[in-house]
Chains A and B, each alone.
Chain A
């Protein structure tokens, strides 16, 4: 299945100048090799689509080219000039421009100042004092260059007062304004509406027609297929396929991205006779609801939806981390109205939030302190903790979920993403919750480790916990869940049994809010959408 990339990968590349030549470029974080490219050439006049799952190495590839990631080894040449690793200034000088949401704008400065950050307008003679008029002229020219009318974006305005899509366009104008030979667009349309997205796709096309090379990292396959002259697929840091648009059907791309992973063996059947654990009725919160849902003991309910559809909000509201503004919840029939996440925990709820580093772990603290935090009361004697007891408990918790580590005394930050996530599951299990809430349970976890996380989720359900898992990865939900609730604009657009759920149905419901033509005998009828 693996395609060994060669110099003549792409027939259409013949006779074109090489803009970027990568040889043996690799990068590891800890023991995990996140990028390993023996050979890759990017040609002038092409839009190269880059696709791959989360953690496939797309961002690392971009960062390596743009200099924001310090590669461990290998050679990169841009237009014949060698590129030293880890210098954004050097990359910029050689003609690489990266447009990425990771490096946003300076919100406190004006649009014009952001567009010309770090340089002077070309027609300004003053070296020290800012020539405001020249700066604004240059900024307006940069905006018109990408096809925006200068009236639509006031260049004097502070960037942070502008909506996200506008900021995204400003970033693109900023990258374009450097007249790059290699323009890297990292999910450039992710926050844009259809009109602006079209503008960006046209721009990528235009750049290629002008003889530049565009590296287009896409999150939507249809978009990538539309714009790209060549599509490369990354998986686990390796280039696994290098395709002409004609061969790059959606199925083919997905197959290459996912590799030969086995799909979940059996579609799970919801335990219809188990008692209901969580009932949600007309629940509302900021940006959410009204939502009606029910989850049974031993059941895994998936929450699907586009970004901003309320997936995380629902999880947070149930956990008590975000205040509910209306509606009711019941846990095993008892009224449950948490005013804080602490009350949620006391009621027997464990939440594993989306961002491990920010929301779950104290990275520099030892594993033992991180995993025992949920059970301190239980393992302390009248409020006093014994170090031996803590260590023993930590070993048990970590062993229970098979965290691979040298000792519980090492900082948890030294573990791989998958191991960290397992430790967090161990911590959640240790509190013996009734309800386990998961938000993006496998984010930033490599594929091998994902399967192990799925096992843990299954284990939780088998032991009688009710599990609610929100995820942006459809495939994941289809593997792990008994039922899937699809959110659209804060409401539940559809609830699907695993057997009835397909990617298409979920996507349709998520994008349009339209549920499937009903007729499925969903055991429960929670459909928050009035349609």
Chain B
């Protein structure tokens, strides 16, 4: 740029960015991605409670708590990865494999349950480290490398078990999934703990804030001296380890280590919960409150449809529609309330 160059001396600020900042509460709420999904949770709960009387009794709430824990925890782990702008398609497959591994170590090889659990979680963390390394060092697209892992996990789970569920698990697994604290199922408590820890890590620690920076503007993060690669690897390890935890909860609920879990599409539900909860697939955006609410909403709806005896095939359709509506609502919100996501 030089003298014969016309550049803005006092050009008006970019119209795009100088949006009016209204202070009205409604606008503020509408501009908060989490508000909509929390509201949707409340509405869904009320509607289903009216439509199906059994919906809000303790038994059903406990069932929901247990289910919620499973893909809620997956969604939180998944969100860590998505916040950096990546994606982890392996979580469902890995959860299935983790269950099989834990069962295999315990029932087939006679390893004490706690040791089997720790070993399984360590293996899962290793898988996350592998993902992070491939993404960072070799620039492999996250989509591809985690899809590879997903496929391998699915195959391994089937090969280890020869396709038949492993039985004879230690009671520890069942206890973990089926007992209650007060009247709250242990998995729901675990979900709550994971959510609180994740919230604290993301909102209140330097590492957590740096994860947002890495997803929001990798170049700015790099130039600010943030260890970008380390942060990315950490998120994959969180995601994989939580997937392992979920796998262990699942075999506790089922009482057997069933290899077919790895192919039941948990990863898509987890991604859906995150997206419904306001996580941007471009990275850098989304909060634990929203993610948890997203998971709760999906659970409310799928369980509600069940309570209303909706044909199971239509339930899947309904879930798809919910996801579509959520994304549509988010885009509209972003368009009208300025928080644009590219």
A residues bordering B, Cβ < 8 Å?
51-54, 56, 68, 88-89, 92, 103-109, 113, 117-120, 128-130, 158, 160-165, 167, 187, 189-194, 197, 218-221, 250, 253-254, 257-258, 287, 304-309, 472-476, 478, 489, 503, 506-507, 510-511
Contacts and interface: CB of A to CB of B under 8 A. Distances in A.
B309 interface: no
B325 to A, nearest CB: 24
23 contacts: A51-B2, A54-B2, A88-B223, A88-B225, A103-B223, A104-B217, A104-B220, A106-B213, A109-B216, A118-B210, A128-B205, A130-B204, A130-B209, A160-B17, A160-B340, A161-B339, A163-B13, A165-B13, A187-B1, A194-B10, A221-B2, A306-B7, A507-B6
Contacts of A68: 223
Nearest to A251: B3
B98 to A, nearest CB: 28
Interface string B1-32: 11111111111111101110100000000000
B242 to A, nearest CB: 20
Nearest to A220: B9
- Which of A160, A305, A507 counts the most B-chain CB atoms under 10 A from its CB? A160
Nearest to B15: A287
A187 B5 CA distance: 13
A439 to B, nearest CB: 14
B282 to A, nearest CB: 10
A257 B3 contact: yes
A472 B18 CA distance: 24
B205 A474 contact: no
Contacts of A511: 9-10
A242 B91 CA distance: 61
B14 A163 contact: yes
B314 interface: no
B216 A106 contact: yes
B226 interface: yes
Given A105-B217, A161-B338, A287-B15, A510 B6 contact: yes
Contact of B13 (A54, A164, A189): A164
Contacts of B212: 106, 108-109
The 6 closest A-B pairs by CB, nearest first: A118-B224, A475-B4, A219-B1, A117-B224, A106-B216, A307-B8
A469 to B, nearest CB: 14
A169 to B, nearest CB: 12
B4 A190 contact: no
B207 A107 contact: no
Nearest to B340: A160
B285 interface: yes
B128 interface: no
B280 to A, nearest CB: 9
A163 B17 contact: yes
B5 A473 contact: yes
Nearest to A54: B1
Contacts of A191: 8, 11, 13-14
A408 to B, nearest CB: 29
Contacts of B209: 109, 113, 130
B304 interface: no
A251 to B, nearest CB: 9
B206 interface: yes
A193 B21 CA distance: 20
Given A103-B220, A106-B284, A118-B225, A305 B13 contact: no
Contacts of A113: 209, 213
A118 B11 contact: no
Nearest to A174: B224
Given A164-B18, A308-B11, 5 more contacts: A109-B216, A118-B224, A129-B204, A191-B13, A306-B8
Contacts of B285: 108
Interface string B215-235: 111011111111000000000
Contact of A474 (B5, B9, B216): B5
A68 B206 CA distance: 24
Given A104-B220, A162-B17, A191-B13, A89 B225 contact: yes
B197 to A, nearest CB: 13
A308 B10 CA distance: 10
Nearest to B215: A108
A105 B7 CA distance: 22
A117 B220 contact: yes
- Counting chain B CB atoms within 10 Å of each CB, the highest count among A108, A113, A197, A473 belongs to A108
A52 to B, nearest CB: 6
A363 B4 CA distance: 30
B213 A129 contact: no
B17 A306 contact: no
B4 A503 contact: yes
B284 A108 contact: yes
A308 B12 contact: yes
Contacts of A107: 216-217, 284
Interface centre among B3, B7, B222, B340 (most CB of A within 10 A): B3
Contacts of A104: 217, 220
